[in-house]
Structure 1
Amino acid sequence: MTVSVILPAKNEAEGLRRTLPALRERMPAAEIIVVDDGSTDDTAEVAAALGARVLGSPYSMGNGAAIKRGARAATGEILVFMDADGQHDPACIQTLLAKLDEGYDMVVGARDWSGQAGVHRGVANAFYNWLASRMTGFEVKDLTSGFRAVRAAKFLEFLHLLPNGFSYPTTSTMAFFRSAYPVAYVPIPVARRVGTNSHIRPLKDGIRFLLIIFKIATLYSPLKLFAPAAMCFFLAGAGYYAYTYATYGRFTNMSMLLLSASVIIFLIGLVSEQITTLTYKADSQGRA
């Protein structure tokens, strides 16, 4: 099967000088696409000089947007996504493809603790993995890894769901699980990135990554998020009512507010569940 390797890149000229020659050596027949996400250095020139197909952008649209542009332009039946900063070893691509041949639709390169970008990122990713595992019922070893191989036809089904920012791995993984497309994980080494210009901003992106937690739940099964929240409000309302009735012999406005909130939250969860179901149903009908 034909393979397209897609590398989103923003100011990654130095990383590409190391990554692209090794990639071409390991994957001589593959289509290599570098999506220049509004770089201000010579990323596009370096990529073109090293034989990659370059897709340019006049301004930065985000990592996810680069992934979507690359996926639309790719001609391969298999899409391989990897970073352009030298962290991912092109030699591992064959491992991903071999696992894909076993009948999987997505294979993700899973980093160990030493491959995490700092302790705070490692702790956050461990929590994301645990939450996603609880939501899906499958062991999720690395929810946010950007090194993965997927079947192009399956990946393109969910392109409209992917955000333009950094959480495309989370969204695509949960979409595959939700649609019963088999996903596998293989361990990979992660090298130190080339350069010092990280695009991750701890405070701003920390808040954004926190929202990933809610996206995980709402994308896969919203009721698993809303039902526990509704139950907490219900128990709080019932408990407060029991206290005020025993103490003052009356039903208070606060009890009514908490109980009403529990019903509203539960109903929102039901509606969200139906919307999620219809979203994937529409995708299924579109494929048919």
Structure 2
Amino acid sequence: MVKEPAVSVLVPAYNEASRIKDTVQAVLSIPEVAEVVVVDDGSTDATAEVARASGARVIRLPRNRGKGEALNRGAALCTRDVVLLIDADLGTSAVEARRLLLPVLKDQADMTVARFPAARHKGGFGLVKGLARTGIRWYTGLVMESPLSGQRAMTREVLQHLLPFASGFGVEVGMTIKAARLGFRVQEVPVVMTHRETGRDLKGFLHRGKQFWHVARVLWQARNSL
């Protein structure tokens, strides 16, 4: 008897029409993947249409609500025993997500986190990553190389305990802290993925400033829930 694919893939996407096709097709090529759900987070381009034509189930939010809320909306549509969260801009490198899935499917971890190779170009000064890494270690004892990675696989049980996800760019830090505090096994997995890197320009620094604030807010909320 052939076992049915056990994985749902959830992809939040905002104005990713140029990359979403490759991302969806790459994860659909993974044998264990049964379905791909793309949440179009108020895009102004053809992200939704391209994702649907590529084989994904698509839901559209009328306006941009942020990554955390997009994941919250899409989670209810994921029907399989394991859920994979990936970013929309991975393109063909999204096929590397199978490395995240196998430890969960083999019951070696409850949640896996992608550890990316070193960035090809200099971005910021490491303040956001440093804050996230320090906060996670302080609250859980976990030492994370990639605390901000959005590429994660988890069991449905973990997903249900983590919902609702934190809003904005603090979502990954929030889910790591919560999963570890609940006793779930969290494991980083090295992958060879590539995505759009934030540059050292005004737009990049504004993005990182917002990210820093969101991570700090999640860490403060974790402190208050002790």
TM-score, normalised to structure 1, is: 0.68
Aligned-partner Cα distance in 2 for 1:191–1:93:
12
Label 1:42 to 1:214 Cα distance change in 2 as closer, same or farther (>3 A).
closer
List aligned pairs for 1:130-209, cutoff 5 A: 130-160=134-164, 162-193=165-196, 202-203=205-206, 205-209=208-212
Offset of residue 50 of structure 1: 1.0
Aligned-partner Cα distance in 2 for 1:10–1:155:
22
Aligned-partner Cα distance in 2 for 1:145–1:35:
18
The answer to which of 86-95 and 182-191 deviates more is: 86-95
State which structure, 1 or 2, has the greater radius of gyration over its C-alpha atoms: 1
Label 1:126 to 1:74 Cα distance change in 2 as closer, same or farther (>3 A).
same
Aligned-partner Cα distance in 1 for 2:131–2:22:
32
How large is the Cα RMSD of the aligned pairs? 2.7
Aligned-partner Cα distance in 1 for 2:37–2:214:
30
Aligned counterpart in structure 2 of residue 43 of structure 1, from 47, 59, 65: 47
Report if aligned partners of 2:96, 2:193 keep a CA contact under 8 Å in 1.
no
Extract unaligned runs of 5+ from structure 2: none
List aligned pairs for 1:238-249, cutoff 5 A: none
Report if aligned partners of 1:88, 1:189 keep a CA contact under 8 Å in 2.
no
Report if aligned partners of 2:170, 2:217 keep a CA contact under 8 Å in 1.
no
Aligned-partner Cα distance in 2 for 1:142–1:214:
19
Partner of 2:113: 108
Label 1:158 to 1:86 Cα distance change in 2 as closer, same or farther (>3 A).
closer
Partner of 2:87: 83
Partner of 1:70: 74
Partner of 1:15: 19
Offset of residue 206 of structure 1: 0.8
Q: Which amino acid aligns with 1:186?
A: V
Report if aligned partners of 2:39, 2:74 keep a CA contact under 8 Å in 1.
yes
Percent identical: 30
Label 1:158 to 1:88 Cα distance change in 2 as closer, same or farther (>3 A).
farther
Paired residues, what number? 219
Label 1:38 to 1:126 Cα distance change in 2 as closer, same or farther (>3 A).
same
- Higher relative contact order (CA closer than 8 Å, sequence separation 6+): 2
TM-score, normalised to structure 2, is: 0.85
Offset of residue 71 of structure 1: 1.0
The answer to which of 58-67 and 204-213 deviates more is: 204-213
Report if aligned partners of 1:8, 1:84 keep a CA contact under 8 Å in 2.
yes
Report if aligned partners of 1:9, 1:34 keep a CA contact under 8 Å in 2.
yes
Any runs of at least 4 consecutive aligned residues in structure 1 with deviations exceeding 6 A, and if so which? none
Report if aligned partners of 1:19, 1:90 keep a CA contact under 8 Å in 2.
yes
Offset of residue 29 of structure 1: 4.4
Label 1:36 to 1:134 Cα distance change in 2 as closer, same or farther (>3 A).
same
